[in-house]
Amino acid sequence: MVEVGIVVGSKSDLPVMQKCVDILGELGVESELRVLSAHRTPALLGEWARGARERGLKVIIAGAGMAAHLPGAAAAWSTLPVIGVPLASGHLNGIDSLLAIVQMPPGVPVATVAVGEAGAKNAAYLAAQIIGLARPEVAEKYQELRNSFVEAARS
């Protein structure tokens, strides 16, 4: 069953956000990756986000660059946890995206991770931690991964 919905505003964002799909798959969490724009396809985004819970999603990850409205728009349409990934683009290399995503009004939270590929990876890890609260096998796989990070740092 698909538990994490990953959404990006543009096909050009797919290579970075594919990291989320790959990591979640390694941890035993099925995901879907969609291209839906907060600006070009807002009705489709709303429909997708509103129906997320009924489709079995537990977490939404939204990657966005420049104006970066996608994570906030997804959070406006759904009460599932939303993780925003600021993507490096434009003249400010993702700083504008980071500020746009992190500045959400009270009551419509978006967890925000680092800019770019590191953020995409951390979004997947955070989603796995959330899923792991209800699925011990995911929590166990994530703990094993963390242990491998420790071992790699010691070598």
Q: Where are the domains of the chain?
A: 2-154
Three-class SS of residue 36? coil
- The β-bridge relationship of strands 2-8 and 30-35 is parallel
Residue 152: partners with Cβ closer than 8 Å, 6 or more residues away: none
Model confidence pLDDT, tens digit, residues 77-132: 999 999 999 999 878 899 999 999 999 999 999 999 999 999 999 999 999 999 99
Which CATH architecture is the domain 2-154 placed in?
Answer: 3-Layer(aba) Sandwich (3.40)
Residue 68: which residues within 8 A CB-CB, separation 6 or more?
84, 86, 87, 96, 97, 98, 100, 101
pTM of the full predicted structure?
Answer: 0.96
CA atoms 71, 75, 69, 113: torsion sign: negative
Instruction: Name every residue whose Cβ is closer than 8 Å to that of residue 35 and which is 6 or more positions away in sequence.
Output: 7, 8, 9, 10, 11, 13, 14
Give the mean pLDDT of 9-19.
Answer: 95
